[in-house]
Amino acid sequence: MEATETVRDRDRTGAREATPSVICSELDIVYTVFGARKKATTTEGEQPWLERILRQRRQVDVGNVRKVHAVKGVSFVVRHGEAVGIIGRNGSGKSTLLRAIAGLIPPSGGRAWAAGRPALLGVNAVLLTGLTGSRNVMIGGLALGLSPREVRERYDDIVEFSGIGDFVDLPMSAYSSGMGARLRFAISTAAAPDILMIDEALATGDAEFQTRSRERIAEIREQAGTVFLVSHSNAAIRESCDRVLWMDQGRLIMDGPTEDVVAAYEASHRKGGR
């Protein structure tokens, strides 16, 4: 309970000068999954995050349909300029939480607020795979709220940053997963969003791209943006984040400075015999 107390104190007294950018209050997310039979080991690879959550969530059967209670009563306040890591095991509700605070999944209970238009960048953040990279740059940029002219102005930067070269004129179905992730990252950060959310995307790039993306994240934070990072790499979290939320089975277990929370998380693996 210690960590939560720390946050409570900080919210009530200190850090008043930085205004909040994301607030969650008792947030609950329940969603419906179709075609979900009890044998949850299907290989529907299109939406692995659903599948992952399916395997570990509390499940209520309604024939072919299942309700998944992925996030339960999560509350926190994040301020401008903070970089927040979200850690937890597979299926602990991290990605769902991220989607909820990006305004993509409506809350089933509780409320959430955010500043501006959050940009979510996930491994599965769907670009249209049948279309070429350049079409996706335009559509992605427009969907992030840029004007066609702004997208055209930033087009070269986006392609250059993604490092995919001539592949930009091929359909994205021809891309390697790393190339797709790099293009997504380049598009999502081109709009300099108020809130950038990254869902395990950095792990896919090579070492050089990881360095560049870390620099881009630092830039966004300097522009008083807020960064959320979901990752299974504790090293990446330690490097980029100054605060961490630890999720388990849909609940927020611990919320505090990176070092404390990651250390406790790692300790839980050892005691759990992993």
Q: Does 19 bind another protein (CB under 8 A)?
A: yes
Is residue 31 a contact point for another protein (CB under 8 A)? Answer: yes
Among 85, 86, 93, 118, binds another protein (CB under 8 A): 118
Q: Which ranges of the chain does DSSP label H, i.e. alpha helix?
A: 2-12, 48-56, 94-101, 133-143, 148-162, 177-190, 207-222, 234-240, 258-271
Q: Is 268 in the site for another protein (CB under 8 A)?
A: yes
Tell me the closest approach of the beta carbon of residue 208 to another protein, in angstroms: 26
Minimum CB–partner distance for residue 65 and another protein (Å)? 9
Residue of 85, 107, 133, 225 that binds another protein (CB under 8 A): 107
Residues 6+ apart with CB under 8 A from 29: 69, 70, 71, 93, 96, 97, 100, 105, 107, 108
> Which one among 60, 174, 203, 218 touches another protein, defined by CB under 8 A?
60
Name which position in 1, 13, 41, 43 contacts another protein (CB under 8 A). Answer: 1
52 sits near another protein (criterion: CB under 8 A): no
List 30's β-bridge partners, or say none: 69
> Whole-angstrom Cα distance, residue 246 to residue 261?
7
Angle, CA of 197, 201 and 204, to the nearest 5°: 170
Strand order in the sheet with 119-122: 119-122, 195-199, 226-230, 83-87, 243-248, 251-257
Q: Which of residues 219-248 bind another protein (CB under 8 A)?
A: 248
How many residues touch another protein under the rule CB under 8 A: the total is 85
Task: Map the footprint of another protein across residues 85-104, applying CB under 8 A.
Answer: 89, 99-104
CB 123 within 8 A of CB 182: no
Candidate list 108, 210, 233, 234; residue touching another protein; CB under 8 A: 108
| Alpha-carbon span 192 to 189, nearest angstrom | 5
Member of 70, 76, 159, 240 binding another protein (CB under 8 A):
76
DSSP state of 171: B
Q: Which of 70, 83, 84, 120 binds another protein (CB under 8 A)?
A: 120
Q: One-letter amino acid identity for 169?
A: D
At 120 the three-state DSSP class reads strand
Q: Interaction with another protein in 129-168: which residues (CB under 8 A)?
A: 130-131, 135, 138-140, 142-145, 147-148
In the complex, minimum distance from the CB of residue 163 to another protein, in angstroms, rounded to a whole number: 22
Q: Which of 167, 175, 185, 265 binds another protein (CB under 8 A)?
A: 265
Contact pick of 220, 229, 241, 252 for another protein (by CB under 8 A): 252
Q: How far is the CB of 221 from another protein (least distance, A)?
A: 18
The answer to the question of residue 176 lying near another protein (CB under 8 A) is no
191 token code pair: 């709009």
